[in-house]
A and B are shown apart, each in its own frame.
Chain A
Amino acid sequence: MPDFSLILPHVVFHTFALLITIVSICVVAARHPVKSAVFLVVDLFLLAGLYASLDSHFVAAIQILVYAGAIVVLFLFVIMLLNLQQEQLKGIKFTVVEAGALLITLIGFLVVIFNALAGKPTGLGDGSLDVAAIEGAGGNTQVVAMKLLTDFIWPFELASMLILMAIVAAIVIAKKDKKELPAA
């Protein structure tokens, strides 16, 4: 019997990859915006599974917590806010922007495929962060936390500025001043 603990991770990875591709196509192809949003939740959940299968436990949890649990809720609210209905069937007509986006996506896809075939490392790991070393340092979450709060301290503090800007922007867009409102 082959050592299936070595084969299993590959099987899991490729199963997830296949499922993600199928669900992503459903996201784009669905005619009703709410359906697209629900497919997107499933898609993001599966992506978290992919991260988990690559031993990135923290990223997997955050993927579900922030993307699937928060951002798509916002999407759903916006869809309901704008009262979007079933999309009308249009003939496929490419604008210049859409064609450009498609071209860039294709080039990026080809670069990834080429790199994978050429055996080039696509990640930035220097070997100090392999699975065993991470387990020794107190687990994935601990390592991420220490990295973020020592080596990447400036991005961490800047993130709070970014959130502040987002808060202000959201309120400026969505909230009118009381005096601007017509008298009820």
Chain B
Amino acid sequence: MGLTENEFTVQFIATLIKFAIMAGILLQLPPVMVWAERRIPGMMQRRKGPNRVGIFKFRLYGIVQPLADTIKLIMKEEVVPEGAQKAFYHLAPIFSVFPAFLIAMAIPYGPDIKAFGFTVPLSVIRVDVGFLFIFAVSSLAVYGVTIAGWASNNKYALLGSLRASAQMISYEIPLGMSLIPIVLIYGTLDLNKIVEAQNHVWLWGVFLSPISFVLFLISMFAETNRSPFDLAEAEGELVAGFHTEYTSAKFAAFFLGEYVSMFVLSCLASTVFFGGWQVPFIDILKIDDAVGFTGVAALIGFLSLLLKAGFFMWVYVWVRWTVPRFRYDQLMKLGWHYMIPLGLINVVLTAVILAAVRF
């Protein structure tokens, strides 16, 4: 490999540390998001939302509520339905958590840290194929849903999982197509290079390819089975969809998977369309020299990305309490009849404009 053993050791340890930090953040997502998903609609509907649970006298707007919920979920009895495919029933939550985890590690969270002669990239995974890796792994997320529904021996679960998997694969195509203009514009598949190219607000993807952003935003909701596309768990018809028969910690694991994939897509949207770890109007790569301390730029970049991703998470909740649910035929029609042609037109248009400008 041409690397010294020393560098290998440094990179290996750096990878472990980065993974530990990211895993820590990802595991905090469900509690925070469950709290946000109850407080924000409370605000929108002029009611209070959870505000009772607290530690001693400190209630802090009920922020401890999700902690209580988590402990309750873990301590509950696990009920396996009769006639279930045992092995697959137990494997399905793992199948739905780990693709989301793997993708989360491939997003660049900040500029490279250069210290002591080593360059440490601020994403755990950085491969040659760039975000094709993200698509590849995210296409595996279908199995968690399909297997969960099939293994439960429950009609609602089976119907929910079929709906969800057909919906997820349908919207994977517009999602993939929406990012082709981005590759055309920035000329690379490497997410970190795409972020580096967006070093000015007017070079952000959202201004260079607005149609892509719209397509991506819509597919984002469909891919995570979130309202207004939450047909898979339409409470009025399918009880709880594919996780009807799941209880206790396994039920929580599905929530973890859902929130992590929401967070990953939020990060991806911020990275590709809103400059990722770049801060508007500031050259972040010069911060380290200006402050005279390595790592400040990385920290600021990380916070910048978290802020942007947080905004998209808020949009998820906002849309959930604003837009009514689609019907299944409307959902499929939107995906296949409108978004795919729009995606193709977008690709051709971008290519022709780029060719006219560049060649």
Residues of chain A at the chain B interface (Cβ within 8 Å): 5, 32, 34-35, 38, 41, 45, 48, 57-58, 60-62, 64-65, 68-70, 73, 76-77, 80, 139-141
In the assembled complex, which residues on chain B have CB atoms less than 8 Å from the CB atom of A38? 88, 143, 147
Distance (whole angstroms) from the CB of A3 to the closest CB of chain B: 9
Cβ of B133 within 8 Å of any chain A Cβ, yes or no, is yes
Q: How far is the CB of B229 from chain A (nearest CB, A)?
A: 18
Q: Within 8 Å CB of B77, what residues of A?
A: none
For residue B150, CB closer than 8 A to chain A, the reply is yes
List chain A residues, Cβ under 8 A from B136: 48, 61-62, 64-65, 68-69
A58 engages B139 (CB within 8 Å): no
**Contact partners of A58 in chain B: CB under 8 A:** 128-129, 132
* Cβ proximity bits B46-76 to A, threshold 8 Å, 1 near / 0 not: 0000000000000000000000000000000
B169 at the interface (CB under 8 A from A): yes
Residues from chain B with a CB closer than 8 A to the CB of A35 are 88
Q: Tell whether, in the assembled complex, residue A64 and residue B129 are in contact, meaning their CB atoms are under 8 Å apart.
A: no
A-side contacts of B150, CB under 8 Å: 34, 76, 80
CB-based contact A141/B139 at 8 Å: no
The interface centre, meaning the residue of B85, B130, B142, B162 with most chain A CB atoms within 10 A of its CB, is: B142
A76 in complex: contacting residue of B8, B128, B146, CB < 8 Å: B146
Known: A5-B1, A80-B150, A80-B162. A140 touches B140 (CB 8 A): no
Contact status A68-B139, CB under 8 Å = yes
Is B127's beta carbon under 8 Å from chain A?
A: yes
**A69 CA to B223 CA, complexed, in Å:** 14
- B145-177 vs A, CB cutoff 8 Å, 1 = contact: the mask equals 011001000000000001001000100000000
Give the interface SS of chain B, mostly helix, strand, loop or mixed: helix
Nearest 4 Cβ contacts at the A-B interface: A69-B139, A64-B136, A57-B128, A65-B136
- Name 19 extra pairs, CB < 8 A, besides A41-B140, A68-B136, A69-B142: A5-B1, A5-B3, A5-B8, A35-B88, A38-B143, A58-B132, A60-B129, A61-B129, A61-B133, A65-B135, A65-B139, A69-B139, A69-B140, A73-B142, A73-B143, A77-B165, A140-B129, A141-B128, A141-B189
The docked-state distance in angstroms from the alpha carbon of A77 to that of B150 is 11
Across the interface, do A65 and B165 meet the contact criterion of CB distance under 8 Å? no
Q: Complex: how many Å from CA A146 to CA B186?
A: 17
Given the known interface contacts A34-B150, A65-B135, A65-B136, the answer about A73 and B169 at a Cβ–Cβ threshold of 8 Å is yes
Determine whether B137 belongs to the interface, using a CB cutoff of 8 Å to chain A.
Answer: yes
Interchain CA distance A74-B35 in the complex, whole Å: 38
Quote the shortest CB–CB distance from B329 to chain A (angstroms). 16
A68 with B8: CB separation less than 8 A: no
A5 to B85, CA, bound (A): 43
Q: Kindly list chain B residues whose C-beta atoms are within 8 Å of the C-beta of A139.
A: 128
Among A45, A61, A77, A80, the most chain B Cβ lie within 10 Å of the Cβ of A61
- A-B contacts, 7 of them at CB < 8 A, read A5-B3, A41-B143, A64-B140, A68-B139, A140-B128, A141-B128, A141-B130
CB <8 Å contact, A141 and B132: yes
- Interchain CA distance A183-B8 in the complex, whole Å: 70
In the bound complex, CA of A58 to CA of B146 (Å): 27
B128 with A73: CB separation less than 8 A:
no
Chain B nearest CB from A59 CB (Å) reads: 10
Q: State the CA gap A80–B166 with chains docked (Å).
A: 13
Chain A residues with CB under 8 Å of B127's CB are 57
Residue of B136, B139, B162 ringed by the most chain A CB atoms within 10 A: B136
In the assembled complex, the Cα of A97 lies from the Cα of B117 at a distance in Å of 64
Most buried by B among A5, A45, A73: A73
Q: How far is the CB of A77 from chain B (nearest CB, A)?
A: 8
Neighbouring A residues of B147 by C-beta, 8 Å = 38
B residues in contact with A61, CB < 8 Å: 129, 132-133, 135-136
Known A57-B129, A61-B129; contact A73-B1, beta-carbon cutoff 8 A = no
A60 to chain B, nearest CB (A): 8
Instruction: Collect the chain B residues with CB atoms within 8 Å of residue A57's CB.
Output: 127-129
Residue from B1, B128, B165 with most neighbouring chain A CB atoms (10 Å):
B128
Q: Which residues of A contact B1 (CB under 8 A)?
A: 5
Contacting residues, chain B, for A80 (C-beta < 8 A): 150, 162
| B129/A141 in contact, CB under 8 A | yes
Q: How far is the CB of A148 from chain B (nearest CB, A)?
A: 15
Closest to A58 in B: B129
Closest to A1 in B: B5
Provide the residues of chain A in CB contact with B133, threshold 8 Å: 61
Give complex CA distance A81, B146 in Å. Answer: 13
Measured between alpha carbons, how far is A140 from B189 in the docked complex, in Å?
12
| A77-B1 Cα distance, complex, nearest whole Å | 43
Q: Which of A35, A48, A68, A140 has the most CB of B within 10 A?
A: A68
